[in-house]
Amino acid sequence: MKKTSVINSELSTVIANMGHMDWLSIGDAGMPVPLGTKKIDLALSKDLPSFQQVLTNILTELEVQKIYLADEIQTQNPQQLVAIKNVLPNVAIEYMPHSELKHNISKTHAFVRTGEMTPFSNIILESGVTF
């Protein structure tokens, strides 16, 4: 049995297959997933698991060099933005309109759906390198 933090087999496989500058997205329960994009649905019920729980878990195995967030998170969900910055304190952030973020999910290796029920709790993680 796998000993590290990410024990979901689909998610673990996606992370293991990522290279430098590849993208992985995590989002709230309402985020639409473009056809053709792999969807790893972890949502069980409202806020279970939370966006932060999933993000923190993924960060135990994925090196992240940059993140992409919707502009709207700054005014519509500033608490989530603070929480994201707390777990990724030295990572560059690029903001874009929510409509563009939704479009860019189609360029990710997978979209991880959480049970999060707060607005604009969506992120694209850009993989870094460990050397």
Q: How confident is the model at residue 2 (pLDDT cuts 50, 70, 90)?
A: confident
Q: How confident is the model at residue 117 (pLDDT cuts 50, 70, 90)?
A: very high
109 tagged catalytic? no
Task: Give all domains of the chain, ordered by start, each with its CATH number.
Answer: 20-127 (3.40.1650.10)
Contact in structure between 52 and 45 (CB atoms under 8 Å): no
Across the range 46-53, mean pLDDT stands at: 98
Among 110, 115, 116, which residue's Cα sits nearest to residue 124?
A: 110
65 pLDDT higher than 90: yes
Among 86, 91, 79, which residue's Cα sits nearest to residue 116?
A: 79
Q: Is 47 labelled a binding residue? A: no
Contact in structure between 110 and 30 (CB atoms under 8 Å): no
Q: Is 98 labelled a binding residue? A: yes
pLDDT tens, 7-49?
A: 999 999 999 999 999 999 999 999 999 999 999 999 999 999 9
Q: Is 127 labelled a binding residue? A: no
Across the range 94-98, mean pLDDT stands at: 98
pTM higher than 0.85: yes
Contact in structure between 17 and 110 (CB atoms under 8 Å): no
Pairwise CA distance, residues 66 & 25, whole Å: 12
Q: How confident is the model at residue 4 (pLDDT cuts 50, 70, 90)?
A: confident
Q: How confident is the model at residue 111 (pLDDT cuts 50, 70, 90)?
A: very high
Annotated catalytic residue within 7, 9, 16, 20: 20
